[in-house]
Structure 1
């Protein structure tokens, strides 16, 4: 416990230290004045749908903005109609925009409404902007746009002239009342002076385009009262540190071409969130720094400008992707993102994130290490890994608090967050196993070689055989006849096998081998478990230990004499030796399969044995007969009767032991299809056990120790995480068209980083531990990894079947030449998924012209998700090449 406390304390303090010393939490841009010349304003709600604000909300917004500016810019006559009454009420000014498109009918309506508003609110207008980036979108040709500009210039000049005429007439009417010439002349002078002091308000007419359009169409400047240019360095891929020099260069270019015409910056801004546009990074610190520097520069240089925009607009995510929502200097909740003077806090949740990360890391450390035999180095490295994982968890958790979430984003974030649970547990479990096996304490509980006992209990060895090749079974039985142990019997259980081809040679062999060998020809239900239960009727009453081996296992003569003495401890009910295979070198496909099996028996089972939590397997298994009878013998309600029996023995308080020495060698599955069927049975059976035994894993249950619960739950999570792989792969495939064609919602950290981290840990775990514990060379480790990863889709099917289907039939693993070659490809579904994932990866890379980092990360995730299905294809190619060699 002291190592756990020290490790979680030191690792947590390191987490806190790194947060506190992160100098990016605060920035200090140049101070700027609070007064901004103009701000773009759109009167829409903070929802994802474009809905107009209420009158009360518009007034609230304008009152808030009036603290910073007296002028706002609108982009359509509809927006202006909503807001202009309140602009007039508050004594503010507006740049009124018209939204012109390529649809003539819509333009006619927009123009008619705009003219009405100009007439009604002329005194509150600073300018009329005829079209916004119309030429950039190619909605209108320059000549068509000029027609509209001239129309509005004439309309505005008509209003201006009419208002002058009204004033002139008012002067004439005033003077007509005065009869005295001297007084009339004096009054006229007074009125003319007043008219000069307060001239009639003139509204400028212009259009708004990005800066290069004014260079491309220089004659357009002759049609407007001022040049309205948009300079948005983010969309120009300009790095934050180069924005000021870029702006000055562009402004100078426009001024050089249009030396006499007034210039205003109709849009300048920078997004606070979103993807990077090559070197241009959208971030809170860049937005604050760039806007404040710009405001300071504008004051020093004396140019006119409008900041785009006042408030974030979540609804823009549909049309402008993940960046369009974040251009406001206020967020959608009307909170100012940064002050105009002093230090700026750009990570508002940092303290809560720090505390949460440190606490979660400490909790993961405590529950990951408790009840384990650890040393300091193991504990501290695991503590650091847990703190790293907790940092990722917190970063994923905070995502919805700093981004505007639509339905699709919630789905992706939710799925990613759900996925993080098993991936976190599995990643930490594998990291724990990695540290334990490399820098932790060596295992102490493996069965020693020098066990001696005066007691020689009777052992009944059961060999179930359903349509087993006679030559294979003969090897098994002849090896059993050579056992050095003296007090045993062998029950050869031929079950549900009517063909004499399988039975006659074995019956004759049993007679030849003598009275120790009992030949049984039985019919039963319940598959293997049913056959084993039926055989109990024929078991010698003196039996103290039941042993079970598969019909293809050739046993070492020392198997019983070495392992039986451990049953002298009355609490021992289960002894398990590893599975291994004697045909691993027959072909490359079998070498790959054999390498995959070895990892579990030399790594996982050794570590589980330290905590009395081994998994019972239906071969190389010995069970105390009295304990076996006590817990209810073999159950036929699962297809992994061996593992289920082992768990019941642990629940009853018994002890299990494991040795990693090989005492028997069997045969590998004949084909990939048989390999997959076997893994489907194991995973399906694991879900059956979980559904049946889950009450024993509740915290309140005392039938299992905490260490046993940990190992069994983690083992089930291994299956579940593999099953989630195809689910997330399909979700990501579906998301790719949204990214490419809509340009919205880059998947969140929750759906990329956990997958990448898990893959990295798996690679390190496999290759390091295969070398240190299995003694495998890189070549064999690679083959084993390919075989293991190729099973992901069949495990998904098994887990799915386990939760929705009850009592699927037992499918035997075809070995020893029993398999029939399948007509259809056993990896056709993997080929489909691999093709879709690789196609998605290629499409994302080819279309990522902006070098968006999130897309590259997502692409890497998709590529990694394709690895299991590519592995299945490789394994199939290896298998086919093996067939060709056999044919030769």
Structure 2
């Protein structure tokens, strides 16, 4: 009887919603080390942005460095624009050192100003230990490899500190010639961007570091950016990112300190202006934008379980094993019966409309279900359901590619941007055939023809009028003029700006005889012009 009484008490006290629906998981990770190799440092605060040309004051920079100093005595910067040029002087006052960044972008005049100021600071302040010329410049396709090398050589001739450029590990793999002009390898290794689970991220970083060491055995290696944001993209935003950030960083730093690698954690403070990087962009900091530490530095880390992993248990908990759940199920069934009974009391017109309504509702339900399934699959489905990463190896010499660009009545300035991007391709063997079909106004197509002559013999222009078949007719026309030794034909629209590794990464797929056609991902090249275009 005592047993029965206890059971009844448990049943009567049981809530309708399952208890502890989402359980916290406690993870043990190493404590934050006493000192770390370095921190990437952007000093911008809420309301400040390099895009708006609103920069922090000297006093704010000093406050930041005083916050950073207990964690590390070394910071990495990205630019010397305006008050950012004060960082080496303030760091020297505080007994800190700087790996000084010089921002290299598409604006050559701005690049020259940055280079002059950066060289001046490197020669003036002993706190500057290294000089980094550009940050992910090649990834953004702002300059060519040769232009970046020219900037690096100019800096090397003017300073006595080691110089390099900072790119992702893939970029160093794809353009190893950069190492010939660098005193050290500065590589970003960010497993979050590669959808590596947090539990595997630490070993993934070490694996990339070992690859770079094997590629460049005579060059010192610095992991110029490692880190994990505390907010993710839309697809993964349900995960407890603050806990993941702490788990990753504390585990990763322990591994890196054991291996003796130099590194910079990205980054000291959240940067609210970095919205162009998506949801994670502003949230890589150890401190938030108000300069408060975000992650626990010691002790176990609690991470709340994902709701997706709890769904099966929630469904099981809703089985009618207690009286409250049973009553709810009975009430729902009774309501359904009452509804059916009421429907029989309706006039004949209701029964005529009912089949029509059922057909309409069924069609609506099917359409909504299909759209909803696709939406949920894209948001919470596999991270990469169809992943075709760039290939970086080809058995033998790379095949010749003939690139065909059809255009009709296109603005000449826009087409020139497309041709400039093709000119910058990092690929040894290709030709470009541009065809303008049926454009009547010579002021539209003649500037393109003249520009092709300026670009050299690799670019050939055709103006055909009349020509039937629209775009497909133009592409078929070019087949007769394609180089005889071309093995691959690539077609792009006249408003595309391709990445400079486009051919190098895609052509190796054709080594497989079963592959005939490849479609490459694309995005709007002017997507940063407005919020509307970013949403598109």
TM-score relative to the length of structure 2: 0.57
Which of 64, 69, 72 aligns to 1:69? It is 72
Tell me what 2:99 maps to: 95
Q: 1:258 and 2:262 equivalent?
A: no
1:209 aligned onto 2:104: no
Alpha-carbon contact 2:48-2:55 (below 8 Å) kept: no
In 2: Cα distance, 1:49 partner to 1:243 partner: 31
Q: If each structure's helix is expressed as a fraction of its own residues, which one has the higher value?
A: 1
Deviation, 1:48, is 8.4
Displacement of 1:104 after TM fit? 1.1
8 Å Cα contact 1:34-1:340 kept in structure 2: no
Per the TM alignment, residue 112 of structure 1 is displaced from its structure 2 partner at its CA by 2.4
Q: Compute the displacement of 1:846 (Å).
A: 8.0
Aligned pairs for 1:553-632 within 5 A: 579-582=345-348, 590-592=353-355
User: Which residue number in structure 2 is paired with residue 436 of structure 1?
Assistant: 331
- Secondary structure of residue in 2 paired with 1:315: coil
Q: How far 1:31 moved relative to its partner?
A: 3.0
Quote the residue 2:117 is aligned against: 113
What is aligned with 1:331?
288
Q: Which runs of 4+ in 1 moved over 6 A?
A: 5-8, 276-282, 439-443, 787-790, 837-850
Tell me: CA distance 1:147–1:850, structure 2 relative to 1, closer, same or farther (3 Å).
farther
* CA displacement at 1:267 relative to structure 2: 0.7
Q: Distance in 2 between matches of 1:144 and 1:107?
A: 11
Counterpart of 1:273 in structure 2 is 231
SS at structure 2 position matched to 1:310: coil
CA distance in 2, matches of 1:213, 1:112: 26
- 1:133 corresponds to which of 132, 136, 143: 136
Partner SS, residue 325 of structure 1: helix
Between the aligned partners of 2:375 and 2:331, the Cα distance in structure 1 is: 42
Q: Could you tell me which residue of structure 1 aligns to residue 151 of structure 2? A: 148
Q: 1:302 to 1:840 in 2, by over 3 A?
A: same
Deviation at 1:340, TM superposition (A): 3.4
Corresponding residue for 2:241? Answer: 283
Contact 1:210–1:230 (CA<8 Å) still a contact in 2?
yes
CA–CA separation in structure 1 for the residues paired with 2:222 and 2:297? 22
Separation in 1 of the partners of 2:371 and 2:18?
Answer: 42
Distance 2:259 2:360 in 1: 68
Find the aligned partners of 2:170 and 2:336 in 1 and give their Cα distance.
69
Distance 1:57 1:320 in 2: 25
Q: With structure 1 as the length reference, what TM-score do the two structures score?
A: 0.36
Q: For the aligned residues, what is the CA RMSD?
A: 4.3
Q: By how many angstroms is 1:577 displaced?
A: 11
Report how far residue 43 of structure 1 moved: 0.9
**CA distance change for structure 1 residues 439 and 845 in 2, over 3 Å: closer, same or farther?**
closer
Range 144-153 or range 246-255, more displaced = 246-255
Pairing partner for 2:177 from 198, 216, 219: 219
- Mapping for residues 389-428 of structure 1, pairs under 5 Å: none
Change beyond 3 A, Cα 1:150–1:850: farther
Gaps of at least 5 residues in structure 2 are 1-8, 305-320, 386-536
SS at match of 2:151: helix
User: Deviations 1:191-220 (Å, cap 9, x if unpaired)?
Assistant: xxxxxxxxxxxx221111111222222222
Q: Once the 2 structures are TM-superposed, how far is the Cα of residue 439 of structure 1 from its aligned partner?
A: 6.8
Structure 2 residue matching 1:67: 3-state secondary structure: coil
Q: Contact 2:195/2:383 (CA < 8 Å) preserved in 1?
A: no
Contact 1:129 1:208 in 2 (8 A): yes
The corresponding residue for 1:237 is 195
Residues 1:302 and 2:257 aligned together: no
Separation in 2 of the partners of 1:277 and 1:290? 20
Cα drift, residue 23 of structure 1 = 3.0
2:99 and 2:129 in contact (8 A); partners too:
yes
**2:77 matches 1:85:** no
Offset at residue 280 of structure 1 (A) = 12
Q: Which residue number corresponds to residue 34 of structure 2?
A: 34
Secondary structure of 2:37's aligned partner: coil
Supply the distance in 2 between the matched residues of 1:144 and 1:300 (Cα, whole angstroms).
37
Contact preservation (8 Å) 2:31, 2:299: yes
